[in-house]
Structure 1
Amino acid sequence: MTETLDPMDQSKIDHQKLAQQLLAQAKAEGVELVGPNGLLNQLTANVLESALEAEMDEHLGYEKHHVRGRNGENSRNGRRTKTVLTEIGPVQIQVPRDTDASFDPQIVKKRQRRLTGVDEIILSLSAKGLTTGEIAAHFDDVYGASVSKETISKITDKVLTEMTEWSVRPLDSVYPVMFIDAIHVKVRDGQVANRPVYVAVGVTTAGEREILGLWAGDGGEGYGTRTGSFP
């Protein structure tokens, strides 16, 4: 009986073999897995650079070394070095340039110094009660990367702005069903402590659930311990 492999399963097998080959080659050449010159760092740089080159191909309308680049049209004009902070630490990449400076990459945008995952790490650490100084020290100790307190504050302040916009959004006039519950989170108020946060969830007339609001409490889950009032 002949077994037919699913294309997705075949893809996974190929990825495993590729990973094994890369690890074996790195071990043979004495290349570390992590670190500034580690395997993961080099792979990340290669992937980002390949994506940027593909974006440049699309921007120009032809591939690298094509004859159209020699006919006075907008063409490649070397590359510039850029360092971006990733979830595995700082990664140095080569960003392609064009002669009329109209290339606007999207994978790693102009003036972008952090990939998305880094912002998520900062928000997660902030949510656990760490100060901006502690978060900066964490990145220095774990990733060997410098992230200023000002940058950390800008990232967390952006979330506060979005939360403010969310809190004043218009609500439906009628919610046939509403649930109220509490979750415990760490809150910094002079010191870090577990506080209950009350969550009101409404069910719309279309049957969809929607979070109506959040209220911070000061004790247990009892209704009488909440701060503020429910709608």
Structure 2
Amino acid sequence: MVLTKEQLSELICKHSERENGLQDLLEILLESMMVSERREYLRENSASGNKCNGFRPGHSYGHGRTLTFRIPRDRYGNFHPRILAILRHQEDECERLAGTLYTKGLTQEQVGEVFQDIYGEHYSKASISRMLDYLREDVSQWLTRSLEAYYPIVFIDCVHMKIHRKRSVETEAFYVGTVVKRIKLHNELIANVI
């Protein structure tokens, strides 16, 4: 059955009015584009004997929700859809922006408002929280990293003193350095001060 553009447009409009209809359409559109791209890729490389080899699961963010779709594969594993690279780049960019705003002190709700101003779509606290998961993982890894038993520490400070010079009084900074040869972690402090 071949549909005209008008018939296809009418079907799409009816489907988009359903609950989560727009999300379904985005997933269908992405899958269709990737399947078409794979067909063209295999046609161009037909001499190699490469063929279709099913699908693998994939996901991305879209309109504040997670889009779930199937990514087509080829037998030799050489096919990589271009549309995925664009989505991945956009997703990474969103996560970096959300992380930067969050570390600057904005709340998840404020980050969502900034995203609404930039992308014209409201992102819920849950969506922003999902974007910040990678940041939480980095912090968790940093907090659980292995530490050395001892660390050298240098404290540097300065003392401002009044100095008389050629009929004037000037304030000059004298730097004081304290070297702690060793400091042991875990609430035990053993230090040799020079």
TM-score normalized by the length of structure 2 = 0.38
Between structures 1 and 2, the one with greater helix share: 2
TM-score normalized by the length of structure 1 = 0.33
Between structures 1 and 2, the one with greater strand share: 2
